[in-house]
Amino acid sequence: MSNLDLAEEILEHQVSCKPMELYVFMDPMNPACWELQSIIRKLQIEYGHYFSMRMILSTQLSALNMSVKNADMTGDELEHPALPSVAIKAAELQGKRAGNRFLYKLQEHLFLQSRNVTSYGVLLEIAAEAELDQDEFKDDFHSVHSAKAFQCDLRITREMEISEVPSIVFFNECIEDEGVKVSGLYSYDVYLTILQEMLGKDRLNRQSPPSLDDLFIKYPTMATHEVASIYNISEQTAERELKKQVLQQKLERIPMQDETLWKVK
């Protein structure tokens, strides 16, 4: 775990007593869950002081084979639908920040580059791009701990009767109250309204977004539309500001087929 990851883990522990907790159920292979990521980022930036968040992997598999640790991992040819989820759990063992970074990179490879993320070899590439400790990632991927963590997520999914992904369950600090389940993908305003109603406040204190430099420290790779949404500006204005960062050699521009990404150099 890097010093930055460790600092974030400590900070989250210190401020864990927030009035709301969000359980976010997602399948990393589901396009709607990829779209939800942008919404969650904006919600965390503006109102993250009101809630903590737990990501639950809810991969839908007809026949789940968790014998990964017994498979021959000497080559990169191994493929299985469960591998991306197991890999995410392995990445999370290096810290929550590392896990989120790996998840985003995995979805980027899947939805923007059309890579086969069920391949062990591709997952190793993603781990390298996410700047994980490679030896630690391989060890954790092979260990029983990652598989059991994924199985735990699937059990929570069943117990909370989650039948659609993405889904978010909002819990307040009153243990006796049931959570509010929101199944499917909605606009940012819908999630904000639910948060506000459950907090029982007429108005929430919105935090201003960080500088571009600080934003890319938190999220090393972002799309143009995400930056525009966070700063409430047009995509044209966002692209102009991002190009300035490229000229200053702070970012690099990565053109994709359907999207433009900006990455910290």
Domain at 115, CATH number = 3.40.30.10
Check residues 9 and 187 and name the one with the higher pLDDT: 187
C-alpha to C-alpha distance for 167 and 46, rounded to whole angstroms: 20
101 and 52 in one domain? yes
Number of domains in the chain: 2
195 and 130 in one domain? yes
What is the C-alpha radius of gyration for the chain, rounded to an integer number of angstroms? 19
234 and 186 in one domain? no
Domain end position, chosen among 199, 233, 252: 199
CATH at residue 236 = 1.10.10.10
10 Å CB burial of residue 30 (0-12, 13-18, 19+) is buried
Lowest mean pLDDT across 10-14, 125-129, 133-137, 238-242: 10-14
Is residue 11 included in any domain, yes or no? Answer: no
Lowest mean pLDDT across 14-18, 128-132, 230-234: 14-18
The rounded percent of the chain whose pLDDT value lies above 90 is 75
Domain end position, chosen among 174, 199, 224: 199
106 and 48 in one domain? yes
C-alpha to C-alpha distance for 240 and 243, rounded to whole angstroms: 5
157 and 39 in one domain? yes
C-alpha to C-alpha distance for 247 and 251, rounded to whole angstroms: 8
Supply the pTM of this predicted model.
Answer: 0.85
First to last CA, the chain: 20
Is residue 4 included in any domain, yes or no? Answer: no
184 and 151 in one domain? yes
37 and 133 in one domain? yes
Q: Which residue segment(s) compose the domain that 135 sits in? A: 17-61+77-199
119 and 185 in one domain? yes
- pLDDT at residue 11 greater than cutoff 80: no
pLDDT tens figures, 45-74: 999 999 999 999 998 654 344 444 444 444
Is residue 2 included in any domain, yes or no? Answer: no
- pLDDT at residue 104 greater than cutoff 70: yes
Is residue 67 included in any domain, yes or no? Answer: no
Question: In one letter, which amino acid is 229?
Answer: S
Residue 78 and residue 71 in contact, taking contact as beta carbons nearer than 8 Å:
yes
Is residue 187 included in any domain, yes or no? Answer: yes
C-alpha to C-alpha distance for 48 and 244, rounded to whole angstroms: 28
Is residue 157 included in any domain, yes or no? Answer: yes
Residue 172: CB atoms within 10 Å: 18
183 and 91 in one domain? yes
Domain end position, chosen among 199, 234, 250: 199
Whose CA is closest to 156, among 83, 88, 82, 56?
A: 56
- pLDDT at residue 7 greater than cutoff 90: no
Is residue 207 included in any domain, yes or no? Answer: no
Tokens matching residue 78: 């191994």
C-alpha to C-alpha distance for 139 and 16, rounded to whole angstroms: 29
pLDDT tens figures, 147-176: 999 999 999 999 999 999 999 999 988 767
21 and 103 in one domain? yes
pLDDT band at 81 (very low <50, low <70, confident <90, very high): confident
239 and 169 in one domain? no
Is residue 205 included in any domain, yes or no? Answer: no
232 and 189 in one domain? no
What was the pLDDT predicted at 215? 96
pLDDT band at 123 (very low <50, low <70, confident <90, very high): very high
